[in-house]
Structure 1
Amino acid sequence: MSLLEINDLRIALNGEHDKQVVKGLNLSIEPGQTMCLVGESGSGKSLTALAAMGLLPPVLKPISGTINLKGEDMLKASASRMRELRAVSMSMIFQEPMTALNPVARVGQQIEEVLEFHSSMSKSARAKRAKEMMEAVHLPDVDKMYRSFPHQLSGGQRQRIMIAMALVMRPQLLIADEPTTALDVTTQAQILSLIRELREDQGAAVLFITHDMGVVSEIADDVTVLKLGEVMETQSVDNLLRHPQTDYTRDLLQSVPSQVPRLARAQTSDNIVLATQDLNKTYGGGGWFSRGREVKAAQDVSIHLNKGRTLGIVGESGSGKTTVARCIMRLIDPTSGKVMVDGTDIATMSQKELKPHRKDIQIVFQDPMRSLNPRIEVGQSIIEGPLNFGTPRHEALARARELLELVGLPASAVDRFPHQFSGGQRQRIAIARALAMDPDVLVADEAVSALDVSVQAQVLDLLAELQERLGLGILFITHDLGVAAQICDDVLVMQYGQVVEYGPAAQVLGAPKQDYTKALIAAAPGRHWDFANFRPFAEMAD
């Protein structure tokens, strides 16, 4: 008998039959099995999980079907019964632990709350069990971690706390909703290994929700592919990766960026549009009465970027890559060193002196929804920079319409608001806004990390097209080695603020010299698969 069996599940907006967002989904998971639920944003993956947990928002209602956990239909269970089942029979790891954890409660206390609600343990027994669970998820210095608040932990540590909370009552079903999306490759590999280990130790079944086919290849036993609420196919992971049955699955697989570096492009210009010399950024150092700990976020970083080329900076969270980008943009002030934009050192300029140079270097951030003003039309966001530099409004708006068409959106989009677009479309708008200043350098800070693989591929193609057409120099910040391999001409690897390795992408990613670079590459999910050709790399060698 299946542990979880979903039959003909239909979920609709306001319960209206013609507004279905999940359409007749069927799914079955056996004890000890890992089923990956795969699809792009809007496919219904998370809604299926929330329905199983009884956590759907009121505006979305199941209108037919069953969700049977050990033979009991979750859709017919009362609210009190669902509270009894959560954490004991089934539990969920959410995508973003910082929003799921209580920011004003210590993490040990939050794990204990699960035990307090679902068991009759004494306070001392709860504390002991919470610490045992923290050790089980391989957290360091458990006593210190137990007393810490969420903001004092790294992203990987917060996700481990979420896993500890989810598994502390030893549920039979674990639902993991994109638990590794925002993590760097080494932390991601650790979390995937941890989930496999805990599944084997506790015998739990896992419903793993993701859009990352590399992750699927690492953790899945079977895979169900969703598109717009409908099941496209269900297969074992090996069969799906080798013999996808639908065009949609084939397109998903072929959109995965290969970790084999692209062929090096010929350098067409010796014009250096961006360079740093011995760039340093140090935080801390103490206050009036004591000397605090100094953090050297960037140490003696020297780079150069030619017109029409892409330089990638890769590394784990905390490596200093974003600090370097923000120093280059002068969003923060470097402690020492030079930042040369078109031959001019802007590192020590005052904000007034800096203003004429701002147009030469523009940035695209990771989350366009946070960088675009939600209260004004996108056209107004695009023309804001040119207006500040004296461009007449009618000219700026005409240019905004041209730029929207250049990035693949209709000119009429100038009159719409950010929330009316998808994530990929908003990122295109952010690119158009950056291009409105006619920059020589575009800094892309994790600009595709939050996007589905197919949308990610479209944005990467767009950047390559714009670079070829406009001669942009692109500084590309990423933790995704596959993305770096596909878009970068040169790659700089950072760790703890220091440059570990720097050179052509084919050399750094194809034949790394440093152990740290090798470890990054070894941790990347899906590194053994040639997704575009539906086979492992080992078979290509044969």
Structure 2
Amino acid sequence: MSDDVIHSGSASALVLDIRGLQVATQSSPAKPILKGIDFAIAPGETLCLVGESGSGKSVTSLAVMGLLPKGSLKATGGRIELEGDSLLEVSSTRLRDLRASRMAMIFQEPMTALNPLMRVGEQIEEVLIMHQKGLSSAQRRERVLEMLDQVQLPDIERVFDSWPHQLSGGQRQRIMIAMALILEPKLLIADEPTTALDVTTQKQILKLIKALQERHGTSVLFITHDMGVVADIADRVCVMRHGEVVETQPIEELLRRPRTDYTRQLLTAVPSLRPRAARAVTDREIVLEAIELEKRYGERSAWARWTGKATSQTLAASDIDFALTRGRTLGIVGESGSGKSTVARCVMRMIEPTGGGVRVMGKDIASLGRAALKPHRKRIQMIFQDPFRSLNPRLKIATSLVEGPVNYGTSREEALAKAAELLALVGLPKDALDRYPHQFSGGQRQRIAIARALAMEPDVLVADEAVSALDVSVQAQVLELLDDLQRRLGIAVLFITHDLRVAAQICDEVMVMQKGVVVEYGPAERVLGSPEHSYTRSLMLAAPGRHWDFSEFRPLDRVFEETSTATSTAIIYQ
């Protein structure tokens, strides 16, 4: 038995045993994707599969589930055994029976995994209809409600009858967990299940998976690029790179004594929770300012639509005040639904504020009409979370980069020359101009999105979760790029994030939002180093891996902890 199996007992006692697994493309010539990987999972164990995008983590999970895309990828060698069943050799009927009953999967984005045309209760019930045919309708409903209660959803009767779009991201992820565990499978595969969630929701989901794992004795294959999450939940860690396993160790050993340079690189790329010192700037010019900014949404009944009156209103953001000076970064942090992105979109005039003002270079743009607003739009540009969706897949990069400047009167020749300079500035070759978005990695696409924003020569960049979908090493590169560009060009950055580690490393000031209002605002050193508000403290306490200094390969001597008094907190990172 290989050294990654640290438990006593024979290989037959393992829940999952993968030996020499090879997967290749079905193109001609075939391209190897997985190159003979080996690992195993014991009963009740959590194995984290980590590595950069393209390392083969998700392909491995799809191979185990028998969900490799037909006509695209194919297992060409090795074995996958689930409690003695050889998954590469069983019939399609047997494999279908094993899914849900013996193994199940939680996908990264529940909104795309759930059927938008079915109520969530019906979708969970469908699993019982397929695999437990003897249950009556009443028994199925009772079992689903019991499972909804186990995943700690409120008002389970209402949730049962809800559509996916009526639930929050965290609630949808709980639905996916309920669906995966309702038949009590021996193996749960979780593919980046918390990547898009804020820290408090992420902590709740991880705690829930752990509790259900202990209740049902389930083994977990957890795929993630978040080393903080790995530090909190893993028993062992399997590190992958370019389709190969480079290292497998118990979590404590891996964090203290990584064997390979690649693993050390992944760990040192994790941003520290210790806030950086604010950047010293000589230019105190205010380039972006919000004055009592407000956004409310009215909900109308059928009768209200006839009368033109709103029956109720939802407060998305209220009394937002901040001032951002040239060359500095202001971070807005908070849970999903706190109002972070609402503020960003109001500032950009992507949505209309219902009150207050937004000044860009001293000019209030909050109430300007479309024609009057146009000259000011180029001064403030946005970098979105998903560059693949924000870049037109049918346009070459050159066209995407020159479109904005050309619309503002720059000649195409001059815009193309500038585009080539910008690509060099963000670390991409000139020949990238003649390629399409799908021909680049996620990190490269985000660099292109940054170049597109810079093409307008803005005074302010608004980055809305601009690195949340990137793995840690690419994230570190993009953050370093933004910092370098800021130093060179003197651009101010409004940085929206739910990742407190990222905020600590890139922000000079931090504004904490909860339920549409600002609860704390000030220098990052103070807000993240010694938060005064209980909500900010709760965010810090929820940060994954907060007990570890990843760059030093050791636990932190002292970490943020709540004290016994109501007026103080002991938060010291050393």
The TM-score bracket by the shorter chain reads over 0.9
Deviation at 1:415, TM superposition (A): 1.1
Amino acid in structure 2 at the alignment position of 1:396: A
Residue from 195, 198, 201 that aligns with 1:187: 201
Please say if 1:27 is aligned against 2:39.
yes
108 and 31 in structure 1: CA distance in 2 versus 1, 3 angstrom threshold: same
Match of 2:10 in 1: none
Letter in 2 for 1:206: V
Q: Is structure 2 residue 288 aligned with structure 1 residue 274?
A: yes
Cα distance in structure 2, aligned partners of 1:338 and 1:112: 49
Alignment of 1:116-515 (within 5 A): 116-119=129-132, 120-286=134-300, 287-289=305-307, 291-515=310-534
1:539 shift after superposition: 7.1
For the residues of structure 1 that align with 2:557 and 2:139, how far apart are their CA atoms?
50
Q: Which amino acid aligns with 2:534?
A: D
8 Å CA contact 1:43, 1:226 repeated in 2:
yes
Q: Distance in 2 between matches of 1:285 and 1:224?
A: 49
Give the SS at the match of 1:111.
helix
Residue 70 of structure 1 corresponds to which residue in structure 2?
Answer: 83
What amino acid is the match of 2:284? D
> Which deviations, in whole Å up to 9, do the C-alpha atoms of 1:360-391 show, x marking residues without a partner?
11111111111111111111111111101111
Structure-2 separation of matches of 1:389 and 1:268: 31
Q: Tell me how far 1:270 sits from its aligned partner.
A: 1.1
Deviations 1:75-118 (A, max 9, x none): 00111001111111111111111111110100001111100110
Q: What is residue 85 of structure 1 aligned with on the other side? A: 98
Q: SS of the counterpart of 1:10?
A: strand
**3-state SS of 1:191 partner:** helix
SS of the residue 1:493 aligns to: strand
Tell me how far apart the structure 1 counterparts of residues 117 and 96 of structure 2 sit (CA, whole Å): 23
Counterpart secondary structure, 2:101? coil
Structure 1: gaps of 5 or more residues: none
**1:15–1:61 Cα contact (<8 Å) kept:** no
Report SS of the residue matched to 1:117: helix
Contact 1:7 1:27 in 2 (8 A): yes
Which residue is equivalent to 1:51?
63
1:103 pairs with 110, 116, 119, which one?
116
SS in 2 for 1:199: helix
CA distance in 2, matches of 1:319, 1:382: 33
Q: Could you say what the CA RMSD is over the residues aligned between the two structures, in angstroms?
A: 1.2
Distance in structure 1 (CA, Å) of the matches to 2:380 and 2:279: 23
Aligned length: 542
Instruction: Look up the equivalent residue of 1:72 and give its one-letter code.
Output: D
Q: What SS is found at the alignment partner of 2:23?
A: strand
Give 1:522's aligned amino acid. Answer: L
Paired position in structure 1 for 2:26: 14
Q: CA–CA distance in 1 between the matches of 2:190 and 2:387?
A: 25
Q: Using the alignment, how far apart are the partners of 2:207 and 2:76 within structure 1?
A: 37
- Determine whether 1:40 maps to 2:52: yes
Q: Distance in 1 between matches of 2:247 and 2:312?
A: 54
- Deviation, structure 1 residue 291: 3.7
Residues 9 and 17 (structure 1 numbering): CA distance in 2 closer, same or farther, change over 3 Å?
farther
Alpha-carbon separation, structure 1, partners of 2:27 and 2:184: 34
2:368 and 2:515 mapped to 1: Cα distance? 27
1:157 partner letter: Q
* SS state at 1:176 partner: strand
C-alpha contact (below 8 Å) 1:256/1:453 kept by paired residues: yes
**TM-score of the superposed pair, with normalisation by structure 2:** 0.93
Separation in structure 1 between the aligned mates of residue 54 and residue 287 of structure 2, nearest angstrom = 40
Q: Secondary structure of 1:510's partner?
A: coil
Report the 3-state secondary structure (helix = DSSP H, G, I; strand = E; otherwise coil) of the residue aligned with 1:513.
coil
TM-score by length of 1: 0.98
Q: Give the match's secondary structure for 1:133.
A: helix
Q: Which amino acid in the other structure matches residue 204 of structure 1?
A: T
Deviations 1:51-97 (A, max 9, x none): 11111111111111000111110000111001111111111111111
Q: CA deviation at 1:15?
A: 7.7
